Structures are given as C-alpha cells and as structure tokens.
Structure 1
Amino acid sequence: MINTKMVRPLIALVLLALAGQANAGGLYLYELGTEDLGLANAGSAARAQDASTIASNPAGMTRLQGNQMVIGAQLLYGDLEYELNDSNLNGPGNIVGWLPGSSLFYSHSVSDDLKLGMALYGNFGLSMSFDDNWSGHNLVKDATLMGLTLQPSLAYRMSNKWSIGAGLGINYGIFSLTRDKLAVFGGDEVELDDTDIAPNVKVGVLFEPSARTRLGLTYTSKVDYNFDVDANGTLPTGRAWSLPINAMLDAPQQIMFSAVQVLNDHWSLLGELGWQDWSTLSEMEITVGPVTQTSRLDLQDTWHGALGVQYQLTADTRLNFGVAYDTSMYDDQDNISFVLPSGAAWRFGTGVQRQLSERSSLGVAFEYLLMEDGKAVNPEVLAGSYDNPQMYFISVNYSYRF
C-alpha cells in the first residue's frame, strides 16, 4: 500500500480532472471527452477514426495513418438529489454538481501494420459531496473513488481484414471518505484516505470484411483495487452502521461488441452491445487491520446497447447522433445504497467534428443522460430516494496528425 499523505491534495486534483462520476452501467464511465460522446458511445470498438480508439479497441490503431494525438476535455453536471423520507431530517441535496474530465491519446506508426499507443484517461469512479449539515454527516460527508488509467498498447494488422490489439492498464486508484466524529455539527472530522495501483488488460479484434463494414470486439479484465479503509460510522440515532463501500472498490470485467456500416458517401450506421460483470461484486470482503468484513449488495450484470449515425455534411464536417441504454447494476431498484446511486439509464448524444487542416481537427459534443429512480431503505433512519436523476456532458476534442 502506498502512503501519499503529503501529495494527496495534488493527486486528488489530478484524478478529478481525469475522471468523473459514472451512474450507468454500474460505475463505468463511457464519456472520455472524445468524439464518442456525441454518438452515445455507439460503434466505439469499431469506429477507429482517431487515436482515442486505444481506450475502446486498441486494434483500431491499424486504421490510423502516421502518428496521431487526441486531447479530450469535458465538463459534466450531475443533478442527483437525495431526498430523505423523514421530512424532519436535513437531506444532503444534490450530491454531484459540476465535475471536470480530460483524456490524452497518442498512436505511433512503427510501420503500416504495427502501431504503438499510449493513453491516459479515467473511466471508473464515484464522487459525492453531501451537505455539511445533512443528518447523516457523521456517517459520510464526502466520498470519492477515482481510477486513473495509463495504458500502453500495441496493434498489429495480420491481413487486410484482421487486426489485433492489446493494452496493459496501469490503474491508479484513490479512495477518500470524510465524516464528522460526532453527531454535533461543526465538530472534528475523520478523514480516511488510501491509494492503490492495480493492473488489468484490454484485448481487441477488428474485422473488416469490406471497405464499408467494420466489426470490433474488446475484452477488458477486472481491476482489483485494495484500499485499507474503515467502513464503520455512526447513524443520527447513535447506532453504528457500516457503509457498503466494498462495491466501490473494484471495476468488473466487461465485453464490448461494435459495428460500423458505411451506407454511402454521406451516411454511416453504428451499433454496439456490451456486458459488465457486476454480479460477482455482490459480496466482497475488505480488511481493516486484523479485521475482515463482508458486505453484500444485490447486484446483477449490466447490459449496454447503442445506435448511432454519422452524416458527412461536407468534406470537412461530420455530424454525429447517438442513443444508448444501460440496464441497472441493482437487482431491485427499490433497494439501492444511497452512497452508490445507479440505475438503468438512457443516453442521447450529438456532436460535430470539423477538419481544420490536413493534419488537425476539432470536435464538440453534448450528451444528456436520464437515469432510473432509486430508493434506499437502509439504514432506515436515512431512507430516501433519488427522483429523476439526470446528467449533462459537454466535451471538446482536438486531434492532430504528425
């Protein structure tokens, strides 16, 4: 375990700049500030139109000419207000608000068939800020889990139809939990912080049966974070309660299948199906000193589906439209954890990509996410609901070919 107390504020700022909050498909984040945002991620494992393919399918680098770089930046606003059932208690209000995000990708051509790549992005995490005066302030006031991934990758074209790729994810995670020691407002705070580095792998295949058709398949393995934190807190009634933070500690394995079909010189159709293995995280153990605790949530695997279109308006301008749906990681949406707000979600994206010169392009995109309501029944004194939760994303990306 790594002790970073002296650099924790700097690390937190870096991670907040590179990862946002995810509330659909469990805690995975599809939005990385790239062109995919305007497509609601449709076709991400087969699109391979710029260096950001390293994150979605490293095999796609074989379609890129020369050396390419993509810089992505995004801003999200989350409207997730937790309303307590007991009107005599103070609720936490909107627990998300504004969060920045960014990413960086670089693809290098060793030859026409062999490509090397490097990516820096954050696509897993949860960041919540509860009002200081809410009734559960001595259980949780602020909670953050962020994962930052550095991913060296390579891709090789085996034939004019088949390409393979792989990346090693070096995942740096930080967990932070702040709460008051006592039920008295304005008292001393308890701050729990820890970090961990955990590896995983991403492998992908790209199949191009014709010049107009591309199929992509990507597998991403599980990330096992190991944070040494204490989940025990105190309820407003004075009774001890253990936060179900264990489900925040790992990123499960996932599979993504994408397709792109070029219809004519102007229109392309994009589709995607995905699966994430959240059910394996229903019961997990966490060790705090000599004590090992087990927590359980009724989690299920999630499924992702997306459809999108690209319209080549002019030789220099491309328009994107997409819609996606993700199922909930909860088996019962009437029994969720208030510190893990998630549910089935619809995404609606649109964007425009403009070629500035022979070597550079600039894109902007917007996405609206509408999530399913959720109710938390435990602990009973803090029972409440997330009604009509929504998120808004806006991104800018810049691509340059060297």
Structure 2
Amino acid sequence: MKLRLLCLSPLALLVCLPVSASGLFLQEAVYANQGTAGAGDGVYTGSAASIWVNPAVMSIMNGNQTTVNGVILDLGVDYYDQDNPYDRNGKSQDYIGSAAMFHVQQLTDDLHLGLAVATAGGSGLDYSANWAGDLQLENINLLTLQFNPSLSYKLNDQWSVAVGAQINFASMDARMVKSDLASETDWALGYNAGVVYQASEQLTLGLSYRSKIEHDFNGNIDSDIGAKLPTDGTLITLDRYQMDTSLVAIADFSARYKINAQWAVMSTIQWHQWSDWDSSPILFDGTVNGNRKTVDLTQTRDWDDVWHYGIGAEYAINPNWTLKAGVSYETSPQEDASKQTPDIPVGSQLRYSVGASTMIGQTKLDMFYEFADLGKVDISQDGLGLGLANDYLLNGYFEGRMHFVGFALTF
C-alpha cells in the first residue's frame, strides 16, 4: 500500500489521480454538493465547485464565493488469472490524495468571473513485478491539472449563459515491457460552456458541455539496454516512445427541485463521448534484431459512449446542519473481454454516497463518504503483436473498488 501525493500547482495544491469513473475522469475531486454522488452539481449554488460542471451557475449565486475541496481515497484493483491463479495474480492498492480550488467573483450585477484549479482525470496503478501482465504493464501514472477560467452572464431572471477555457497540464510515466518510460509533460487546450434556466423558485435546470482534450507524450525509455522481450526469438531493444491519450467530451444535464424548506432532490444525466477514443497510439523507436525501426503497439480501445445517471436528496435538520445522500450508475464503455487492458480495466460502476454540511461562523463545512463498486471486468486477450507468446497474454478478470473521504470549505 502507498500514499501518493504530487504537487503540481503553483498554488501548492496537492493533486493526484487514480484509475477512475468513466475511463479517465475523476469527478469526486470536483464534487460541489458533497454527499449526493455528484447529483445536481450543475445547478448547485452552495459551493463554488459547481462551476466545474456548469459555469453558468455563477449567475444565480449570491456574490463572491471560494471553495477548497479535499479528498482521500483508497483504490484497490485485483487481477485473478484463470490459467495459473497461484503465482500470476496481480494486486494494486493505493491511498491517493487530491485537492482543488474554485473561486467566483461578481464583476457586475449580471457578469461573473470564475476560476477553477482542479484535476480533469488520470490513471494510477501499480501491480508490481511478477504478475501475469508484467510484460504489458507494471505501473502507470497519468496526472493532470486544469486551469479553467470562465465568464457567466445573466440574460434575465430565468436564463444565464457561460463560456470557459480549459488549460490542461498532464504528466505521464510508466513501466512496461521491462522498461521505464521517462516522465514527460504536455499542455493542451479545450473549452467548456453552459446554460442555466430557473423555471421557478423551486426548480432549476442546467445544461453544460466540456470539449475533448488530447495529450501527446514523447520521451526516452530509461534503460541502458531498453526492452528485451522473451518472444518467439525476436530481439527488441527500445530507446524512445510516443503515446497519445485523451479526455473526451462530456455533456451534463442537472436538475434541482426544492420540495420545501427542509427537503430538496436533485438529479444528473451525463454523456461521455468515449466512442471517440477508438485507440491509444503507442509507438516505440529502437532496433529489432539489430535493425533500426519503429515498433507500433497501438492499443485498440473501441470504447462505447458512457451514460451516467445520478440521484440525490438533502434534508435540513436545522439552519446549521444538512444531511445528504445519493447514488449514481455508469454504463460500461467496453464489454468485449478481448479488448480490455490492464492500464484501464473498465466496466459498469455503482457509487453510494452520504454526507453532511454545517456552518462554522461564516464558513460552510461539507463532509462526505463514498463507496464506488467498479465491478468485475473480464479480460481475454488474443494477441499483442511482436510474437508475444500466449504465456504473456491475460486471461482472467479484474475486480475494483474505491473508498472516498472528502471535505470542502466554502467562504
């Protein structure tokens, strides 16, 4: 077990990413209404973190707000081998911390400025050596940090609109095919937009969109001899790599209905365009049997779009304390066991969340616990190229789960 924290931000925020919901997305790090599994975040006015989902919500907040989020999670992913379960199983266990900051500044009665500094997504697994898939992957870390400035304008008492810029930083390193891939960084740009409609005093609706972001990594392989794979006799030595990865487009529809002074219910429907992630280009430069060439190990993903459904409720015990609960479900982007991979084993997911909020003077404290059941993911590889023998293909299943404990301060 490890505790991993990476300081990426000039604001000294600690940001670290695990394998996460819906491919590479980690939404727990940017929860606004903590304890509802993210339900209704796009129209929640009690936290500045809601601008991450929908920046148009700024227009219905009261004045300026600043929110600091923090979360610690226990991530476990186990691999069980069907062919030789006694000495080929794998286990990745990590404790990971993340933090983010959000600020809303009212410029005029109708115009608001927002700034979010948070994670966009990533991957972090460490199976260690001597498991069934150690020639494909021993560990990987994809860490991201996003600066997301935005502007919101209130058109009238019912409609508000907003646009923002995604400025994304990413760092990646991995150990695979018996070689260390040197840490590389990359910057990429995208945009986001949103609209909020206040249908009545009780009902608020929001629709938002975040564009796709693509990162390209080019670096050295940290090894004196590169990678010598035990294949069908081919001798391969690698010294450079190229990799691409994407955070695909995501659309969110959020709703919140205030039943009375004590009860409110909220819901979210999201669409994640993972069908746009058909493959992960992976190129290695080196020598094959003494001849210089590029080895193409591009990983076919062929994922489907993901649908996310969330529902939550909150109950105000008194003016100082509110209890919250929520549940969410995500469809699987990949049901074909032959196309699963050890870097991001994915299936359908369920999340259960509870939380509470209270006032400490003029500051609101939110706290939550969430359990994510990542389910059972079958894998049955039928070939990886390079003449890799069947002994090095994976035939088994992954089981994953995450425990989250988080807090937020809003002032």
Q: With structure 2 as the length reference, what TM-score do the two structures score?
A: 0.84
Distance 1:203 1:267, change over 3 A: same
Distance 1:46 1:123, change over 3 A: same
1:289-331 deviations in Å (ceiling 9; x for gaps) = 6958443223111000011101111111111110100011114
| Corresponding position of 1:65 | 62
1:151-162 counterparts in 2 under 5 A?
A: 151-162=148-159
Note the C-alpha offset of 1:355: 1.3
8 Å CA contact retained: 1:298, 1:332: no
Q: 2: distance between equivalents of 1:88 and 1:386?
A: 11
Selected match of 1:170 from 167, 172, 182: 167
8 Å CA contact retained: 1:37, 1:367: no
Structure 2 counterpart of 1:371, which letter? Answer: L
Note the C-alpha offset of 1:332: 2.1
Q: 2: distance between equivalents of 1:274 and 1:34?
A: 14
Q: How many pairs were matched up?
A: 381
Selected match of 1:271 from 256, 267, 270: 267
8 Å CA contact retained: 1:92, 1:131: no
Query: Taking every aligned residue pair, what percent have the same amino acid on both sides?
Result: 25
Note the C-alpha offset of 1:78: 1.3
1:270-296 deviations in Å (ceiling 9; x for gaps) = 011111111121135456569584432
Q: 1: distance between equivalents of 2:105 and 2:230?
A: 56
8 Å CA contact retained: 2:262, 2:315: yes
1:194-209 counterparts in 2 under 5 A?
A: 194-209=184-199
Selected match of 1:383 from 386, 394, 403: 394
| Corresponding position of 1:252 | 248
Note the C-alpha offset of 1:66: 2.4
1:105-129 deviations in Å (ceiling 9; x for gaps) = 1111112321111111113111111
Note the C-alpha offset of 1:91: 3.6
| Corresponding position of 2:290 | none
Judge which range, 41-50 or 92-101, deviates more: 92-101
| Corresponding position of 1:398 | 409
Note the C-alpha offset of 1:268: 0.6
Selected match of 2:305 from 301, 305, 308: 301
1:289-368 counterparts in 2 under 5 A?
A: 291=294, 293=296, 294-333=298-337, 335-357=339-361, 359-368=362-371
Note the C-alpha offset of 1:20: 2.3
8 Å CA contact retained: 1:35, 1:363: no
Judge which range, 325-334 or 210-219, deviates more: 325-334
Q: 1: distance between equivalents of 2:314 and 2:229?
A: 51
Note the C-alpha offset of 1:350: 0.7
Note the C-alpha offset of 1:47: 1.6
SS of the residue 2:198 aligns to: strand
Judge which range, 245-254 or 156-165, deviates more: 245-254
SS of the residue 1:29 aligns to: coil
1:375-398 deviations in Å (ceiling 9; x for gaps) = 222254341444442111110111
Q: 1: distance between equivalents of 2:353 and 2:405?
A: 10
Selected match of 1:14 from 8, 24, 33: 8
Q: 1: distance between equivalents of 2:84 and 2:282?
A: 34
Judge which range, 348-357 or 13-22, deviates more: 13-22
Structure 1 counterpart of 2:344, which letter? Answer: L
Structure 1 counterpart of 2:94, which letter? Answer: G
Judge which range, 272-281 or 58-67, deviates more: 58-67
8 Å CA contact retained: 1:26, 1:302: no
Note the C-alpha offset of 1:224: 1.0
Structure 1 counterpart of 2:146, which letter? Answer: T
Structure of higher RCO (CA pairs closer than 8 Å, 6+ residues apart): 1
Q: 2: distance between equivalents of 1:253 and 1:90?
A: 40
Distance 1:277 1:118, change over 3 A: same
8 Å CA contact retained: 1:135, 1:236: no
Matched, 1:40 2:37: yes
Q: 1: distance between equivalents of 2:397 and 2:99?
A: 27
Distance 1:234 1:252, change over 3 A: farther
Structure 2 counterpart of 1:14, which letter? Answer: L
Structure 2 counterpart of 1:397, which letter? Answer: A
Note the C-alpha offset of 1:259: 0.4
Q: 2: distance between equivalents of 1:246 and 1:162?
A: 45
8 Å CA contact retained: 2:192, 2:209: yes
Distance 1:89 1:235, change over 3 A: farther
Note the C-alpha offset of 1:267: 0.7
Structure 2 counterpart of 1:200, which letter? Answer: G
Selected match of 1:371 from 374, 378, 391: 374
Q: 2: distance between equivalents of 1:37 and 1:385?
A: 36
1:334-375 deviations in Å (ceiling 9; x for gaps) = 641122111100011110010112x21111101111122112
Distance 1:326 1:333, change over 3 A: farther
SS of the residue 1:62 aligns to: helix
Structure 1 gap segments, 5+ residues each: 1-9, 182-188
8 Å CA contact retained: 1:247, 1:281: no
Q: With structure 1 as the length reference, what TM-score do the two structures score?
A: 0.86
Distance 1:35 1:55, change over 3 A: closer
